[in-house]
Each structure stands twice: as structure tokens, then as C-alpha cells.
Amino acid sequence: MGFLYLGLGIPYFFWRKPKHAGFIILYGLTFFFANFGPNTTTFIVPAELFPARLRSTCHGISGATGKIGAVVGAVGIQRAWGSSGEYNEGDPDSKLKPMRAALVVLGAVCFLGTVVTYAFTPETMRRSLEENEKERETESDVPAVAL
């Protein structure tokens, strides 16, 4: 997704031709990869990682946090660049600049999200939910060392 957003944002002025086929294809691919990638981290991974007794509550909190982030990203980035309909009459590209900036920032956020996900999400591959639960129980049974 990061590469797609950068591919849309950096040459954004090239894509300004109405209904440009390349833009439509790249933009469509962002929707595919949005459901293929980040949705996994907000729906499937929490179901595997959270303890059974808290799974539904934590799953709801995780999903809500993802939705809040989406709203902040969609509304906040556009507002940060002042795309409230104001533009310079003398510069026909002035309306395109906020969208270009937003796409480039979204690309950077995608790369940052990839790094954070790989750094902080424990691997659960080839382990059952019961094995993950037992591993957490043994980790919590270790007494804390008093300093």
C-alpha cells in the first residue's frame, strides 16, 4: 500500500487527466491491499493474541481504535493541508497539492505501520490458540523481581 500511495502521490500532477486508466488501476489496488493487509492486523491478529477471557472486549477496542485512526487520517490530513475548498485562482494546480501531500504522507504512514507491526506483534504462526494461551500463562507465573 505504501508503494501504491507513493506511486499515486509523487507523480500526482501526471494523473490529473480525467479518468486516467493508470490512476484508476492503482487506486483500485489500494483498496485490495487495504483489505488484504492492514485489516488482518485489526481483525485476525487480535483474535489470536488476546487472552480468551478478554478476547471479545480487546477485539472490540482494537477494531474501534483502527476506525478512529481511519477517521483521523482521512479528515485530519486533508484539513492539515487546508483543502477546505480554498485555492489560488492563478494556480490551477493549487487544489491538487493537498491531495498529493496527503497521498505521500499516507504512503509514509503505511511504511511506518509495517515497521511497528513487525516490531511489536508476536509471531503466532503454526501454534494453536491453546498453545498461545499456555505460553502467556507461563510468562505471567514468573515472579517479579523486587528492586
pLDDT one-digit tens code per residue, 129-145:
777 777 666 665 544 44
For the stretch 30-80, pLDDT in tens is 988 888 877 777 777 777 888 888 888 988 888 888 889 888 887 877 677
Does the pTM surpass 0.85? The reply is: no
Provide the pLDDT confidence category of residue 29 given band limits of 50, 70 and 90.
very high
SS3 label, residue 1: coil
C-alpha cell at 133: 494461551
Cβ distance 8 to 15 under 8 Å?
A: yes
CA separation, residue 37 to residues 31, 42, 87, 117, 135 (Å)? 10, 9, 35, 11, 26
Is the distance from CB of 52 to CB of 133 less than 8 angstroms? yes
